[in-house]
Amino acid sequence: GENVEQHPSTLSVQEGDSAVIKCTYSDSASNYFPWYKQELGKRPQLIIDIRSNVGEKKDQRIAVTLNKTAKHFSLHITETQPEDSAVYFCAAPSSGSARQLTFGSGTQLTVLP
Amino acid sequence: DTAVSQTPKYLVTQMGNDKSIKCEQNLGHDTMYWYKQDSKKFLKIMFSYNNKELIINETVPNRFSPKSPDKAHLNLHINSLELGDSAVYFCASSRLAEETQYFGPGTRLLVL
pLDDT at A52: 81
Distances (CA, A) of B84 to A44, A109, B5, B37: 22, 27, 24, 12
**pLDDT of A97 over the 70 cut:** no
B13 touches chain A (CB under 8 A): no
Count of all residues that appear for chain A in the document: 113
Each residue of B67-82: pLDDT tens digit? 988 889 999 999 999 9
Contact B33, B68 (CB under 8 A): no
Return the pLDDT at B92: 96
Model pLDDT, residue A31 = 87
What contacts A95, CB < 8 A, 6 or more positions away? A1, A2, A26, A27, A29, A30
Contact residues on chain B for A100, CB-CB shorter than 8 A = 33, 45, 48, 55, 57, 97
- Residue B83 is given by DSSP the state G
What's the angle, vertex CA B88, arms to CA A9 and CA B27, rounded to 5?
Answer: 100
Residue A106 binned pLDDT confidence (cut-offs 50, 70, 90): very high
Q: To the nearest whole angstrom, how far is the Cα of B74 from the nearest Cα of chain A?
A: 15
> Residue A40: closest CA among chain B residues belongs to which residue?
B41
**What is the pLDDT confidence band of residue A96, given thresholds at 50, 70 and 90?**
low
CA-CA distance, B15 to B38, in Å (whole number)? Answer: 18
Verify whether the Cβ–Cβ distance B42 to A94 is below 8 Å: no
Q: Residues B23-77: pLDDT tens digits?
A: 999 999 989 999 999 988 899 999 888 877 887 787 899 999 999 888 899 999 9
pLDDT at B53: 80
Residues forming beta bridges with residue B102, ordered by sequence position = B93
- The DSSP bridge partners found for residue B54 are B49
Task: Work out the number of other CB atoms within 10 angstroms of the CB of residue B2.
Answer: 10
The whole-angstrom separation of Cα A109 and Cα A72 is 20
pLDDT of A15 > 80? The answer is: yes
